Structure 1
Amino acid sequence: MTLSFIDIHAKDNNKVKHLRGLCEQANYRKKQQQTVLEGVHLIEAYLKTGKSVNAFYLTRQALENMEVQQLLDQLSGLPVYVLTESLYQDIRTLGPGIDIMAVINTPASPAEINQNSDMLVLENLQDPGNVGTLLRTAAAAGIKQIICSTGTAAIWSPRVLRAGMGAQFSLSIFEHVALDSLIPTFSLPVYATSSHAQQSLYQLDLKQPCVWLMGNEGQGISENLLQHAQGIAIPQPGGQESLNVAIAGAICLFEMVRQRLT
């Protein structure tokens, strides 16, 4: 079975409306249980998991791109909607690049959390770039479980997917979790970065499984959760007030990696 190419020229076409809704509206993505992957490399990373794509949207110019041709050559039986340049540019969320999107079913959360394994917990992180960067960092550091509060940026939104660069596909992700009731049940040590903490990150023994708790960009970890965590400080000889949460997370996770490698 070959791919089916369908040209679309009208902005009020139902397929265009559907794509726009998935790109722009969190409630629509939730209702449809679908999301959008934008760009060749993110789509390739998804396909390597063995999961299927529902449909492709691209421009006529993208069809002439070698990477797109190689991607489509791997597939069959899928609709490929070819949008005019102006239609595509009006919907896209990515900067300049190869104009191709794929609609997929939003992956479901796993059945349960493994409380004996490393975890990264995100409380009310709202910047998609920070969330995506932390997902990439966790995946690189070997942490497989990500737990997100309700106020955290949607993991499967196009912007977080783009920032995560496919890290989501290798992680077990739990969203909309009530952290106030979950965190107190953990038997593993819970570490939270805090500028007021006395203990340095580099004084910790991180060779055993643990939980890393990262908080809101402006407010940090809530007081309720801090009561169930060990506050740690990242030494800053330069005297800056604080670090970006994604940078702080990377420093912590790779100090853990360093200790476990030795």
Structure 2
Amino acid sequence: MNLITSRDNPQVKAIRRLAQDNTAYRKAGQFWLEGDHLCKAALDRGVRPQQMVLTESFWNEQGPQWASMCDQVLVMPDALFATLSGLESPARMGFVVAWSDPARVMNDVATVILDRLQDAGNVGAILRCASAFGYRQVLAIKGTAALWSPKVLRAGMGAHFGLHLVESASLDDVATLKVPILTTSSHEGDFLHELLKSGRLQPQCAWLLGHEGQGVSHDLMVLAGQKVRIAQPGGEESLNVATAAAICLHASATA
């Protein structure tokens, strides 16, 4: 156990960058997980941290039972940990985990394609749905919120560790997929419930989800073999993209 008390410590500065800069993980080759829930989710998937960071209060309460999970344990005053945290109520512990971009696209698995989604909460929620409903892969088109940023990780609630995630995916990457590509539309295509009822909805497919305001780009829309609408008898113009994703992914999973 290494006790750190200075905010100018090089390790503290490095962790602060990971915790507060959404894309720092790409350069550092590491990402930051904060809170025992996320850390336990990572451990359950076989992920082992490079560093474990605990507040003094957490160390005094639970330190020994966590310390065996990592060779390098950093302990710091609660007030110093709070300067790292991106949360209003700091979680008192976190992991620094090695990161690498898998790059390779798996072309024959159920996939979710994110086209320039901006909101970290939406992106994390969609990752959580993808994992829950049995999707294997998520392709994030360039311009999508950073998948391993702290906000997306928190919204994903551990889903990241059960998915194959490819960032900065291209049109060519999407074109290599061998599964049918479906996309949501507010005004074109068959209604989802009718496809499901008639047995025309395939469980092994790729769902293409577009930018919160602009929708799916024209070039990607061309690659979609089918446009699908969600019935909205209440009369709203459109649904939040994460809500639409949950409906569509669940429908395919149960087809």
Of 180, 188, 191, the residue aligned with 1:189 is 180
- Structure 1 residue 69: Cα displacement: 4.5
- Whole-angstrom distance in 2 between the partners of 1:247 and 1:208: 19
Is it true that 1:114 corresponds to 2:106 in the alignment? yes
- Whole-angstrom distance in 1 between the partners of 2:175 and 2:162: 27
Q: Deviations over 1:138-161 (max 9, x none)?
A: 111000111111111111111111
Q: Where do 1:99-138 residues align within 5 Å?
A: 99-109=92-102, 112-138=104-130
Of 230, 238, 242, the residue aligned with 2:238 is 242
- Structure 1 residue 27: Cα displacement: 4.6
- Whole-angstrom distance in 2 between the partners of 1:75 and 1:187: 40
Q: Where do 1:112-191 residues align within 5 Å?
A: 112-178=104-170, 180-191=171-182
Match of 1:48 in 2: 44
- Structure 1 residue 97: Cα displacement: 5.6
For the structure 1 residues 102 and 76, does the alpha-carbon distance in structure 2 shift closer, same or farther, using more than 3 Å as the test? closer
Q: Deviations over 1:101-124 (max 9, x none)?
A: 1111114316x3332221111111
- Structure 1 residue 197: Cα displacement: 1.0
For the structure 1 residues 28 and 198, does the alpha-carbon distance in structure 2 shift closer, same or farther, using more than 3 Å as the test? closer
SS in 1 for 2:37: helix
CA contact (8 A) 1:44 1:71 kept: no
- Whole-angstrom distance in 1 between the partners of 2:136 and 2:215: 23
Give the alignment's TM-score, normalised by structure 2. 0.90
- Structure 1 residue 227: Cα displacement: 1.8
Give structure 1 regions of 4+ aligned residues with deviation exceeding 6 angstroms: none
Is it true that 1:84 corresponds to 2:67 in the alignment? no
AA aligned to 2:201 is L
Percent identity over the alignment?
A: 38
RMSD: 1.9
SS in 1 for 2:254: helix
CA contact (8 A) 1:62 1:98 kept: no
- Structure 1 residue 214: Cα displacement: 0.6
- Structure 1 residue 231: Cα displacement: 1.6
Q: Which 10-residue stretch deviates more, 184-193 or 249-258?
A: 184-193
- Structure 1 residue 208: Cα displacement: 4.3
SS in 2 for 1:227: helix
- Whole-angstrom distance in 2 between the partners of 1:124 and 1:169: 22
Match of 1:199 in 2: 190
Match of 1:5 in 2: 2
AA aligned to 1:102 is F
Give the alignment's TM-score, normalised by structure 1. 0.88
